[in-house]
Amino acid sequence: MKKISKIFAAIVIFLVIIGLTLPMMSVFAQENLQAPLQEVENKVDELVQLKDDSSLSEKDKETKEIQVRKEALDKIIELSLAEIKNLENKLNSLELESDSQKAAKEKFLELLGNNAVYSEELKKNIAKENLALDEIKNFAQEYKNWRESNYDIYVKKITAFTLVFQEKQVLKTANTRLDKIMSDLNKLEAAKILKKTDTSNLINLAMKSLANAQLYNGNAEKILLDAIKKEILDVATTTPALEMASSTADALIQTATSSPETLTKAPEPEASTTPKIISEENKAQALIEKSLQEIKSAYANFIAISVKVSQKLKLK
């Protein structure tokens, strides 16, 4: 019985560990960029307040406006560089096997690298002394145009691509844990502590969930790689795809190009009655989320097995 207790203890510890490591699935969330984004919004607030500041002369107001716009654009560039670094780190952490997967990764890294170089050069230019107000506005407009043509259209595809392969690692871990649980249950069954029927339904449910998760993930990968090959590797096209930080930063860049008379906070987007075209990356994203739900279901069954084993041992 002492040996059996050790086996059970191992299972309990094992199942507790998997419960604690579920937060690992936070890899599916983008790192927090709220702090730099808040700094940008604070600068926009300064611009809005400056417009109504009657304590300054027109000359002093323009001097102050130039300084605040420079600082705002600098913060926007820092936000963009932080997001680029975040995406590069995610891409470089992926375990890829096929040539198509590696080709997509290398192309994405190239695109991000080009954007980082452009952003760094612009950062140097706006740091120059004695820039006129129109020059700052032009820099902001040029940066907005660059992002729209060379960055925003790729961000969502990059994010979906990284999620697919991060999820593959989570799936691999879940399947390994399922194998370990089944092995330990076999030992308990051999020792007459459990009957196969005690946990077979839960095992079958977990296996089904992981099989579904694998299917959803595989379909998401195929959709993405096909789209990347067609739209990026073979020929460059413009696909509307904006991430939260990207689109918000662009709205704030637009603010930096506005005149004091029209300067306001970026408006909320209006609801559109035009039917939305579901992009390939959005289809893939939906499949990734379905896969994640199936993985969570499998873990729920793992925990249920732990409870079942505990109940059986109390009766011994």
Output the pLDDT for position 60: 75
Asked if 239 contacts 153 with a C-beta cutoff of 8 angstroms, the reply is yes
212 is a domain residue: yes
Please identify which residue in the block is written with the tokens 């043509």.
149
Query: What's the rounded Cα separation, in Å, for the pair 87 and 103?
Result: 16
Output the pLDDT for position 149: 86
Output the pLDDT for position 150: 86
264 is a domain residue: no
Query: Domain residues for 96?
Result: 2-22+34-258+277-314
Average pLDDT per block of 10 residues along the chain, 316 residues long: 46 38 40 66 73 74 84 88 92 92 94 94 91 90 89 89 94 94 90 89 96 96 92 57 39 47 40 49 92 95 90 72
Asked if 282 contacts 179 with a C-beta cutoff of 8 angstroms, the reply is no
- pTM score: 0.72
3-state SS assignment for residue 91: helix
> Which of 27, 72, 127, 46 shows the shortest CA–CA distance to 249?
72
Residue 126 CB neighbours (<10 A): 19
Asked if 20 contacts 38 with a C-beta cutoff of 8 angstroms, the reply is no
266 is a domain residue: no
Output the pLDDT for position 236: 44
Q: Compute and round to an integer the Cα radius of gyration of the chain.
A: 26
Strand segments (E) across the chain: none
Angle between helices 34-51 and 58-92 (to 10 degrees): 170
124 is a domain residue: yes
Output the pLDDT for position 120: 95
307 is a domain residue: yes
Asked if 279 contacts 156 with a C-beta cutoff of 8 angstroms, the reply is yes
272 is a domain residue: no
265 is a domain residue: no
263 is a domain residue: no
Output the pLDDT for position 33: 64
The number of domains in the chain is 1
Output the pLDDT for position 278: 53
